[in-house]
């Protein structure tokens, strides 16, 4: 079955690259805002590179852990950070074909001074599939679901400021694996978000119909 991995597929040359795009959304409580591609890839420190423009999507090119300041960055992994102005860091997966996709994501604080960071998974720039607040150093949360998606529909994995409304020390490890199920009927997905966790201005209930 077709599989994609954010860390294994990270591109040091192209954006977008295959199914992945790295970019941002503007500050505020609108995680469904306009998606803008990063155009700048630059080295940061000690083997870490980043697609960025304020917020960033970073990658440790080394197979070993890099410690830089208060950040402990595992080898060959991706981390995300919101911008100083509160803009969101976004990794976008665009479905290459109609089908049922398994989303498997884990986000974790890797800054030893971390306080609060908001994490979201948004389907088709409209429906909130997951919305959580990471709180404190080493906090880790995971999300897994199966969803019917049409070709070219996006799924956004987003990191922004958390309940403290501060971008400081918000470096967040992003481990995302996606695979396409073959010969499967559609999966019903019911999602409701009324902003209890982070004040996101979204309210949605959706039943995802089978792919035909």
Q: Per-domain residue ranges for the chain?
A: 3-181
Give alpha helix (H) positions in the chain.
6-9
DSSP states of 9-43: H--SS-SSBTTEEEEEE-SSS-TTS--EE---EEE
Q: Give me the tens of pLDDT residue by residue for the chain, a chain 212 residues long.
A: 899 999 999 999 999 999 999 999 999 878 999 999 999 999 988 999 999 988 999 999 999 999 999 999 999 999 999 999 999 999 999 999 999 999 999 999 999 999 999 999 999 999 999 999 999 999 999 999 999 999 999 999 999 999 999 999 999 999 999 999 987 665 555 444 434 345 443 333 333 333 33
pLDDT of residue 195: 40
What does the alpha-carbon distance between residue 16 and residue 7 come to, in Å, rounded to a whole number? 15
Cα 144 from Cα 103, distance rounded (Å): 5
pTM for this model (two decimals): 0.88
C-alpha dihedral, 128 to 174 to 35 to 103, nearest 10°:
-50
Look at residue 211 in the predicted model and tell me its pLDDT: 38
Q: Which helix (H) or strand (E) holds 45?
A: strand 41-45
* CATH number of the structural domain 3-181: 2.60.120
The SS3 call for residue 59 is strand
């Amino acid at each position: 079955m077709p599989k994609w991995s954010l860390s294994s597929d990270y591109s040091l040359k192209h954006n977008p690259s295959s199914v992945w795009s790295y970019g941002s959304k503007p500050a505020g409580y609108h995680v469904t805002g306009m998606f803008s591609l990063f155009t700048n890839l630059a080295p940061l420190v000690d083997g870490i590179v980043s697609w960025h423009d304020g917020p960033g999507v970073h990658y440790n090119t080394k197979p070993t852990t890099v410690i830089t300041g208060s950040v402990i960055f595992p080898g060959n992994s991706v981390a995300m950070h919101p911008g100083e102005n509160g803009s969101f860091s976004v990794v976008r997966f665009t479905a290459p074909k109609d089908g049922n996709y398994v989303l498997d994501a884990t986000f974790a604080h890797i800054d030893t001074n971390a306080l609060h960071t908001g994490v979201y998974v948004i389907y088709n720039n409209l429906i909130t599939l997951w919305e959580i607040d990471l709180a404190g150093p080493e906090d880790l949360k995971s999300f897994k679901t199966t969803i019917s998606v049409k070709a070219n529909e996006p799924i956004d994995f987003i990191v922004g400021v958390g309940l403290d409304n501060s971008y400081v020390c918000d470096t967040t490890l992003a481990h995302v694996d996606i695979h396409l199920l073959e010969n499967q009927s559609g999966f019903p997905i019911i999602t409701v978000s009324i902003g209890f966790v982070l004040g996101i201005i979204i309210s949605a209930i959706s039943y995802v119909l089978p792919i035909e």
